[in-house]
Amino acid sequence: MCKPTNKIYYLVICLLNFLSISNVTGNFDPNRADYNAYGVKIAMNEDFLVLAENKNDPPRFFIQFAPYNGIQMSLQCSTHYPQMTDSFIYTVVVGKKQNKNRKHFYFAGELTNNKSGIFVGIAIYNNINNNSSLLCNTSFTYYLQYFSNYQHQEYYILGVEPNGYFTYGFSNEFIFIFDSRNTSVLEIWNGNLTWPDTTFIPHAVDISEHFGVISGFIYNGIHSAVNYSPMIYLINFNSSNKHPIVVNQYKPIANPGTWQDLLPNADANLYSAKYDMSISINEYGDVLVGMQFINRVFFFYVHKAKPTELNFVSRHTNGRTLGNGKNIVWLENGIAALIVNVYTLDYEWLSSQIHIYGIQANGYNSNSTPLSVFPNNHQKLPQSLDPVFINIVSSPSSLALLDNKGHIVIFLPTLPGYYLSIKDTGTIPLITTSHACMPGTYKNQPGIHDCTLCPSGTKNPGIFSTFCVPCSSNSFCPLASVNEVPQSALQTITQALPYPKSPESATFDEILIRNMFSIESGRCTLISPLFWTLIVGSLAIIVMIIMGFLKYFSKSPLGRRIRKLVKYIFRRTDLIGEGELWVGGLASLCVIVLICFACIFSTSFIKQYPIETSSKSYFDCDLSIKNAKFETSVQSLAIPFTNADQKMFDLLNNQEFLLNIDFVNTVINCDSVSIEALFGITWSTIRWLNCDNINYTLSLSIPLPYQHISVQVYIEDIKTIGALRIGLNGHEVKNGSYLLKQLNFYQSFFKNEFILARHLPITLSKVSNAYNIDEVHEATVQPCSIEETDILRTKRFKPNSSTNSTTLATNNTAAASISSSATAESTMSLSSNQRDPCHGPAKVKEYILLGPFQPQTQFRNVNGRRFRPEWYNIYPWLEYSLELDQAFCFSCRLRGEHKFDAGFTINGFNIWKNGTLRLNEHQATYSHKESFERWKTTVQNHNNNTDVLILLDQQNSKQATENRAYLKELIRTAHFLARQGVSFRGHRENVDSKNRGNFLEILELRSSDNELIRRKKEEINFTDYKIQNELILLMNKQVLNRIVQEIQKAKYFSVMIDETTDISKQEQVSLVIRYTDENFNIHERFMGFERTKEMTGEALFNLLLEWLKKLNLEVKNIVGQSYDGASAMRGEYKGVAARLKEVAPCGQKENK
């Protein structure tokens, strides 16, 4: 184990190793319940599976015989060798191609409980004829060989040749061959006769028919920065004695500066699961080597005919964690399965998955995408299975998974068009079953991998399972399409418009004069009134010159007649001299041209309102001119509304909304949907108004009980969804001179090559545009847009003329924002990743803790050069922008873009040819080092809980928890008073009052023995009359909802109505509903009072209809009605009873 570099160091190291070995010799006491300790405890081939269980003494072997397609107790048993007491099994192995008439397995282990000895053994199955009457213990014959010359080995592994005739044992000190056909002989020799480096400690091995591969660690010396380095050996076998010979080697080297390069591996000579390795060789000579301690899997190729070179192909890295390649196996058809565990650098488990790759077809590197991942949303982890995966083995057609508790799942290959699922039957082991691929997916080859999503532009409605068919080019057919959906299903409807910049002049006269008397170039010249007036004026001057010529130079009679005729015509058109001057007629033509243009402009300008329906202003040089002016001002919410604003906001706040949700390109139906809404602090189930799946679009219409409400839509289904379309609708409402226009909004969310995520938070925000319309001139408008926030009230005014306005109309528009967390699977991200450097400086606290944005993707290739992902490991501060294809420095951007190297903070860097040189130069700058240290210190402070923001957050969380507890006490007090029918408030509730009312006095009494109430009463109070009223209102809504649910469940009911006048002379109507429950118990429930302005039968009937509609009760289900003797109630023709009889024929009348 020691390679001498100089004599003194050599003697010291060897002495320490000797003491270490002496300390463990005879005291080997492993954890018997740990299936992960010291080796792989499971093996399988096409005939049987074996699991070593050390929790028993002597250890037992669980055997499951093939076929694996069903659990038959006669095909499984548990066996042990009685003479193996005080033993611990390291590992078991079987040959993949063993003769079916000779079933056996090898095992290796060590004695425990102060006993010393290493052994290897074989268990041979004698019941070849599968006679189920033979007991398992009597069906196996055991042969063991003990090593007397060797002590405890931290790493002791077995490798078996495919036919299972003999097995090899490897450790640092020895190597042996154990032949199943001659169990009495064990050929063993010293390991340093084989290993090129005598310090080599083997960790994993696999042997094929032509060669073998073994991996482990070599010792570099006590003064080396890396004490133990990983090493991979390619071995051939001597044709005469079958001894292994190392013919080639590969030493994984970490890139300088990466976290792997900083690992000293100082304790790699002592067993730790962190240093587990795995090797698998397939029939093509492909080799996978997994080293989870550096989070890498290496891919090699060895020529079977001449296996002397270990050819490196690629490697796969899974970020800054441990666990990638914990276990690796090849399956059939060039498909491989890997356990990808995620551990922290301190080897604390975070998650476990099985990744399946089509390596032969698609290759394998850090950018490779797995064919499937287990578990996933439709291949869920059974509850009986532990979430920590430790080993997988293959037969190779089937796959077996061993968890941390010793439970086994056998994954059986499925035919093309089918995927496997696991039903938690409680049996050992669990066996998978096959199901046809879901719509939108396909599978064209057999295996244990999942079905694949149909590519964009193809579809599978479920009638095909092995292929997807092309969609028409004009349809919406995204990833995982179930069918063609018309593009109209994604139509976006928006009422929001960008308001143009307001003109400097807001008076119509000034706007008109500017238009009349200005000339500009281009198109503006042709529409300029002044231009055409000058044209007419020029013609008039020509006429005047001709008239002068005829008067002074022409003596002919014809000239005199023409001049006389012209003077006659223009006198008739003289508007200036009222027919006296013919020259005035020429001037009048110019005036007429100006007037015509003024009329055309005025008419067109009037039509440029409202902005929502107006088009471009082609009649003016400025195409954006509108009959409106836009201004913005901010006003505190503490300032009360004006009467006009208050009426408008009352309309807005009382508007009822209908939330419309379309799930596009899916076969999910309404039975899978449930909806909850947040009422106060409680999530309660609500129902949709309409739900249907038409043309592969699931449409939901949900009435919203409040405008400010949170709604959760749950879909209990695993089928895919191509896109999401959100809509909000509100009806038009008119109240006197106030008009609230209809809200109609839809927005679609989808992204090419993605499907909808499993969790998708959406926020809808309403923006209201209010404007005043003049009573006489409709187009002379004075609109304003009002947008409320929690702190400020913002108004956008658009005044124009000075006329008085009497009609107020309001437009509602809506906007939707959406966010999603992308997963490794195909999910939808509806906005660019906000961590992408293209979005500006990363000054948000969460970004600091998340670190640089380092996406793993197919980087753009420009002129044969591209960004290299291995730079992430060399430069931990480096981040990459997907949008810009440029690199940035995360730590420098945190401190401000203007202070540091612009090439890594503002402009980005993308000259990949000089990438390494440029990155090194930036890393060496003083400003970078300073910013990098500040960032690391911030993260360290956060992790150590010394960050001020964390302490403040903890304090805020504690205070919020106490406030919630105090609120619960207030609710309990209010609930008690409500149940007892006791009044809440007193005549005076100030501190000096002797009786402040029941609510406050009970709280005062409870505070004497409740520290929380006593303290919170002084801090936040929350006991004024508004809070009391709100608590009563919330309880009222809960009780009323419960009553309505009981009535809806009963379906049929009777109504009792009576009118009365309260002390303030206000007419009120009371409603009582009578119904029976499922046990035919009669209930009468008082539903409340409603005020009415009229007491006519028509008014009371309409009031009842609105009341029942508000309660979501069907009028047609009324089977009885009861009133007093008032004519408005019982009138034969116009009474409530008669009108109700028309819409509810079963409602029999009874006068009380």
Q: pLDDT tens digits for 1091-1140? A: 887 878 888 888 888 888 888 888 888 888 888 767 667 666 667 888 88
Amino acid 824: pLDDT: 29
Count of CB atoms within 10 A of residue 1069's CB? 20
By DSSP bridging, strand 723-730 and strand 657-664 are antiparallel
pLDDT (average), residues 775-781: 30
- Which tokens hold the place of 1110? 């508000």
| Res 1002 pLDDT > 90 | no
| Res 551 pLDDT > 50 | yes
| Res 331 pLDDT > 60 | yes
Q: How far is CA 88 from CA 32, 115, 965, in A?
A: 7, 11, 54
- Which tokens hold the place of 556? 């002919």
By DSSP bridging, strand 408-411 and strand 430-436 are parallel
pLDDT (average), residues 183-207: 93
Transcribe 384-427 into DSSP letters: TS-S-EEEEEE-SSSEEEEETTS-EEEE--B-TTEEEEE---S-
Amino acid 464: pLDDT: 78
Write the single-letter amino acid at 311.
N
| Res 592 pLDDT > 60 | yes
Q: How far apart are CA 456 and CA 446, in angstroms?
A: 23
Selection from 761, 958, 941, 956 nearest residue 845 by Cα:
941
The residues near 716 (Cβ < 8 Å, ≥ 6 apart) are 672, 673, 674
Amino acid 3: pLDDT: 42
Amino acid 828: pLDDT: 30
Decide which of 133 and 207 is more confident.
207
Q: Secondary structure of 1022-1065 in the HEC alphabet?
A: CCCHHHHHHHHHHHHHHHHHHHHHHHHHHCCEEEEEEEEECCCC
| Res 579 pLDDT > 70 | no
Transcribe 122-149 into DSSP letters: EEEE--TT--TTS-HHHHEEEEEEEESS
Decide which of 372 and 821 is more confident.
372
| Res 151 pLDDT > 90 | no
CATH 3.30.420 in the chain, residue ranges: 1048-1151
- Which tokens hold the place of 583? 């020259």
130 with 65: CB under 8 angstroms?
Answer: yes
Residue 499 pLDDT class (50, 70, 90 cuts):
low
Q: How far apart are CA 526 and CA 549, in angstroms?
A: 32
**Average pLDDT score over the chain:** 81
Amino acid 28: pLDDT: 81
Amino acid 486: pLDDT: 92
Q: What is the CA radius of gyration of the chain?
A: 43
Selection from 399, 411, 406, 400 nearest residue 385 by Cα:
406
Helix (H) or strand (E) holding 857: none
Q: pTM, whole model, 2 decimals?
A: 0.58
Selection from 1028, 1039, 1021 nearest residue 982 by Cα:
1028
3-state secondary structure of 207: strand
| Res 302 pLDDT > 50 | yes
pLDDT (average), residues 1037-1059: 89
3-state secondary structure of 414: strand
pLDDT (average), residues 1027-1054: 88
Identify any residues that bridge with 702 across adjacent strands, giving them in sequence order.
659
pLDDT (average), residues 70-79: 73
| Res 771 pLDDT > 60 | no
- The alpha carbon dihedral of 636, 641, 642, 644 has a sign of positive
Residue 595 pLDDT class (50, 70, 90 cuts):
confident
Write the single-letter amino acid at 846.
E
Decide which of 963 and 373 is more confident.
373
Vertex 126 angle, CA 124 and 410, to 5°: 70
Q: How far apart are CA 368 and CA 354, in angstroms?
A: 15
Q: Which residues in 462-556 belong to E strands, given as ranges?
A: 469-470, 475-476, 485-486
Count of CB atoms within 10 A of residue 445's CB? 16
- The DSSP call for residue 193 is G
215 with 280: CB under 8 angstroms?
Answer: no
The residues near 593 (Cβ < 8 Å, ≥ 6 apart) are 529, 532, 533, 536
Q: Count of residues for the chain? A: 1152
645 with 697: CB under 8 angstroms?
Answer: no
Q: How far apart are CA 752 and CA 819, in angstroms?
A: 16
492 with 769: CB under 8 angstroms?
Answer: no
Tens digit of pLDDT for each residue in 434-478? 999 999 999 998 999 999 999 999 999 888 788 999 999 889 999
704 with 657: CB under 8 angstroms?
Answer: yes
| Res 888 pLDDT > 80 | yes
3-state secondary structure of 628: coil
Selection from 744, 784, 94, 126 nearest residue 395 by Cα:
94
Write the single-letter amino acid at 1139.
R
By DSSP bridging, strand 469-470 and strand 475-476 are unpaired
Residue 958 pLDDT class (50, 70, 90 cuts):
confident
Amino acid 631: pLDDT: 62
Count of CB atoms within 10 A of residue 118's CB? 24
Decide which of 481 and 1146 is more confident.
481
Helix (H) or strand (E) holding 301: strand 296-301
The residues near 352 (Cβ < 8 Å, ≥ 6 apart) are 323, 339, 340, 341, 342, 387, 388, 389
Amino acid 767: pLDDT: 62
Identify any residues that bridge with 403 across adjacent strands, giving them in sequence order.
389
* CATH number for region 1048-1151: 3.30.420
pLDDT (average), residues 659-667: 93
Q: How far apart are CA 631 and CA 975, in angstroms?
A: 50
Range of weakest confidence among 106-110, 124-128, 711-715, 897-901 = 897-901
pLDDT (average), residues 989-1006: 82
| Res 754 pLDDT > 60 | yes
Q: How far apart are CA 822 and CA 754, in angstroms?
A: 10
CA terminus-to-terminus distance, the chain: 105
Q: How far apart are CA 452 and CA 444, in angstroms?
A: 9
Amino acid 758: pLDDT: 72
90 class by beta-carbon count within 10 Å (0-12 exposed, 13-18 middle, 19+ buried)? buried
The residues near 863 (Cβ < 8 Å, ≥ 6 apart) are none
- Which tokens hold the place of 899? 């202070």
Q: How far apart are CA 259 and CA 876, in angstroms?
A: 9
Selection from 801, 794, 789, 802 nearest residue 770 by Cα:
794
Identify any residues that bridge with 44 across adjacent strands, giving them in sequence order.
49
Q: How far apart are CA 1140 and CA 1032, in angstroms?
A: 33
Q: How far is CA 863 from CA 240, 866, 909, in A?
A: 55, 8, 16
Q: How far apart are CA 223 and CA 221, in angstroms?
A: 6
Residue 988 pLDDT class (50, 70, 90 cuts):
confident
Q: Give percent above pLDDT 70 in the chain.
A: 85
Tens digit of pLDDT for each residue in 214-257? 999 999 998 898 999 999 999 999 988 899 999 999 999 988 88
pLDDT (average), residues 555-566: 82
| Angle, helices 529-552/582-606, rounded to nearest 10 degrees | 170
Q: How far apart are CA 941 and CA 935, in angstroms?
A: 10
User: What's the number of CA atoms in the CB half-sphere (13 Å) around residue 932?
Assistant: 13
Amino acid 659: pLDDT: 93
Selection from 302, 306, 74, 116 nearest residue 206 by Cα:
302
Amino acid 1012: pLDDT: 83
For residue 431, the Cα-to-chain-centroid distance in whole angstroms is: 31
Amino acid 568: pLDDT: 82
| Angle, helices 582-606/557-572, rounded to nearest 10 degrees | 40
Identify any residues that bridge with 879 across adjacent strands, giving them in sequence order.
888
Decide which of 1016 and 34 is more confident.
34
Amino acid 479: pLDDT: 92
Identify any residues that bridge with 792 across adjacent strands, giving them in sequence order.
636
